[in-house]
Amino acid sequence: MPAAPPTISIMNHNLIAFILALLLPMAAVAVPPQHVQPQLLSNVQAIRPGDTFTIGVLLRLDEGWHVYWTNPGDSGTPTRLTYEDTKGLRISPNLLPLPEHFDQPGGLIGFGYKNEVLLTASVTASAYLSPGETKITVTVSWLCCNDICIPGQAHLDLTLTVLPAGAVKPEPDHRELFAAWKQRQPQWLGSDAQLLQRIVRDDNEQPGSGTFRWTGYFQPAVHDVEWFMVPDHALMLENQKQSIIADPTPTSTISFTARVLAGQRLSSPWMLVVIGYTDAGGHRHAAATWQRIVLAQSFPPAADAPPSTQP
C-alpha cells in the first residue's frame, strides 16, 4: 500500500504562519543609506620599482552631510584609515587635510569635511618589486552626520600595474583632484611651502593645568586664520579664543586653558597643532607643528624630542 502523503497539523501550520509573519517585515526593512561614497584612487596609472607616488581615499558626501577630522570637535568620531601591509610597498598616511568648522545641534562645534575629502598617503615601491600587479587594501571608517549620525565602514582595493624598472615613466591619473587637495595638506612649520614664519608662546603651566597664549607670525597678505588642535586623550582644552591682527605684520593669537582629566596622565607632552590660512590668491593652506604641554608631569627622556614630522 503506498505511503500516505505527509500532513501538516493545524498547530504546525499556525506556527509556520506566525514565524513568516515575523520575518516578512524584517525582510522589507531597507538598509539605511550611508550618504558617503568611498573610493580608493592613485595619482599614477602604473608604477615602477623604486617609484614614489600618492594614493587617496576619496569620500563623496551627499549634500548637507559631513564627516569628521582627527579632532572631531565638541562631539563626533574621527575618520580613520587602516592600510593592510603590502609586500614591496611602504605606505605612509599623511596628516588629514585642513578641516573646516561647522555648527552642530545644541550649539556644538565640529571640525571636518562637507561635500568631499581626499585622505592621502605616500607610497614608496621597493626597488626589487617584480613586474606584474600589486594590490593595495584599506579599511576606512567614518561617522556621517546631518540631523542624525550614521556610522559607516568600507573595505577598498586598488590594483596597480607594475612595469619593469626601465619602463617609461607612467602617466599621471586624477591630476586635478590630487593637486587641489595637496594645497590643503598641512606642511610642517619651517618648510618653504607655507607662510607661517614662527609661533611665540606665553604660558603659565601649573601641576595638572595651565593657561596658554600662542601667537603665529605670517607673511603679508595672509587672512582667515584658524587654529585646530589635537590634544592628548587625557587633556581637556577650554575657553579657546582666536584673534587676528592685520597690521603691520599679520599675526593670529589663540588663548586657551588646559587641564588633565581627573585620575589620568598625559601619554605624551606633544600636541599636534594645525593652522589654516588663506593667501593673497584666495587659496587655503595649512601649517602643522608639534607644541609641548607638560603641566608639571614627568616624561621619559625619549619624549624630549617631538615626534617625527614625517607621516
> Could you tell me which of 260, 275, 265 has the C-alpha nearest to residue 214?
275
Q: Which residues lie across from 251 on neighbouring strands?
A: 217, 245
Within the chain, all domains assigned CATH 2.60.40.1250 are found at: 36-183
CATH class of the domain comprising 36-183:
mainly beta
Reported as a pLDDT band with limits 50, 70 and 90, residue 236 is very high
Residue 33 has pLDDT above 70, yes or no: no
**All three cell numbers of 88:** 614591496
pLDDT tens digit string along 243-276?
Answer: 888 767 789 999 999 999 999 999 999 999 999 9
pLDDT the model gives residue 229: 93
pLDDT the model gives residue 247: 67
DSSP characters over 118-152: EEEEEEEE-TTPPSEEEEEEEEEEEEEESSSEEEE
pLDDT the model gives residue 191: 63
Out of 118-132, 196-210, 212-226, give the one with best mean pLDDT: 118-132
Please state, in angstroms and rounded to a whole number, the distance separating the CA atoms of residues 154 and 37: 9
Beta carbons of 38 and 81 less than 8 angstroms apart: no
295 in the Ramachandran plot: left (φ > 0), alpha (ψ -120 to 50) or beta? Answer: left
Residue with cell 587641564: 259
Within the chain, all domains assigned CATH 2.60.40.1230 are found at: 188-302
Q: What dihedral do alpha carbons 106, 111, 117, 123 form, nearest 10°?
A: -150
pLDDT the model gives residue 208: 94
CB count in 10 Å sphere of residue 205: 16
**All three cell numbers of 5:** 502523503
For the chain, the straight-line distance linking the first and the last C-alpha, in angstroms and rounded, comes to 82
Beta carbons of 228 and 273 less than 8 angstroms apart: yes
Reported as a pLDDT band with limits 50, 70 and 90, residue 29 is very low
pLDDT tens digit string along 75-128?
Answer: 899 999 999 999 999 999 999 999 998 888 787 888 999 999 999 999 999 999
CATH topology of domain 188-302: Immunoglobulin-like (2.60.40)
pTM greater than 0.75: yes
pLDDT the model gives residue 194: 62
pLDDT the model gives residue 165: 92
Before 105, cis peptide (omega within 30)? no
Please state, in angstroms and rounded to a whole number, the distance separating the CA atoms of residues 247 and 234: 38
Residues 6+ away with beta carbon under 8 Å from 124: 50, 51, 52, 89, 90, 92
pLDDT the model gives residue 16: 43
Residue 196 has pLDDT above 50, yes or no: yes
Please state, in angstroms and rounded to a whole number, the distance separating the CA atoms of residues 107 and 99: 19
DSSP characters over 228-266: EEE--TTEEEEEEEEEEE-SSS-EEEEEEEEEEPTT---
Averaged confidence pLDDT in the chain: 86
